[in-house]
Amino acid sequence: MLVGAGPGAADLLTMRAARALGEADLVLYDALVSREVLDLAPQAHRFLVGKRAGKPSMAQSTIHALMIRAARAGRTVVRLKCGDPFVLGRGGEEVLALEEAGVDVEVVPGLSSATAGPADSGIPVTHRGLAPGFLVLSAVPSDHYRRVLATLEPGSVTVVLMMSLGARAEIADFCVAHGWPSSLPASIVIDATLPSAWTWCGTLGELADVEIPERDGERGLVVLGPVVSLANENRRKEHEPWPMDRAR
């Protein structure tokens, strides 16, 4: 069973995901799944199989083999994936591998941080008159997002860039070089929905120079588009002042 762990907070899992974790006896989980979510599988053996940028990680083929072997042994297996299994998470590859091996598999969707992250910071990814749609891209590898952004009309849709914290300067430089206005609203969202949540809002021209807090992991994203200007108005949670607030 492929289960979406949601954006971070345990109470944002679906009821079906929580039930699956409670029934599992083996959980293979991603690196950024929170401890609170893992605690929902008290009787399961839990093994970290997630990938971390720039660090040694388990090969995808090995993950496939672990799932297949455990399922064939009669174990109740949950492959716990951050966000939604089918949003930049190789969930499709894992389903294909399981089906090819003759293993029945169920996919339990999860709330993707691509939408939940901005929302937690008061940023709607769509808004009448500002953004009729949104685009989700991975910043790794860079040639993928470059091909898309080079042909996109600046500000026409909201752009959400996942796995992008370390590439924010590169993203800003590329966009400006391709005619995007440096005044375009931009945001960085880290640890959305968690107590450690941190958000910066400013402009594309400022994005490269933002100092972000040191965290253990890459649970963050970049948002580009006019909807970022709505963040302060739409905030519904009491946070510490944002960097943009302190600078005023």
For the cut 90, the answer to whether the pLDDT of residue 52 exceeds it is no
Instruction: Give the confidence band of 177 by pLDDT, cuts at 50, 70, 90.
Output: very high
pLDDT above 90: percentage of residues in the chain: 85
| Residues belonging to the active site | 30, 51
Question: What b/e sequence results for 74-103 when a residue is b if at least 16 CB atoms lie within 10 Å of its CB, and e otherwise?
Answer: eeebbbbbbbbbbbbbbbeebbebbeeeeb
Residue 236 banded pLDDT, cuts 50, 70, 90? very low
Q: Would you state the pLDDT for residue 214?
A: 80
Lowest-confidence pick of 6-20, 108-122, 160-174, 224-238: 224-238
Averaged pLDDT, 91-114 = 97
Place of tokens 């807090």: 213
Nearest to residue 165, comparing CAs of 124, 214, 108? 214
Q: Is the pLDDT of residue 242 over 50?
A: no
Q: Which of 51-55, 76-80, 168-172 has the lowest mean pLDDT?
A: 51-55
For the chain, give the percent of residues with pLDDT over 70.
Answer: 90
Looking at the predicted structure, is the pLDDT value of residue 116 above 90?
yes
**Half-sphere exposure in the Cβ direction for 248 (13 Å, CA):** 6
Q: What phi, psi does 67 have (nearest 5°)?
A: -60, -45
How do 158-162 and 220-224 pair as beta strands?
antiparallel
pLDDT at 186: 98
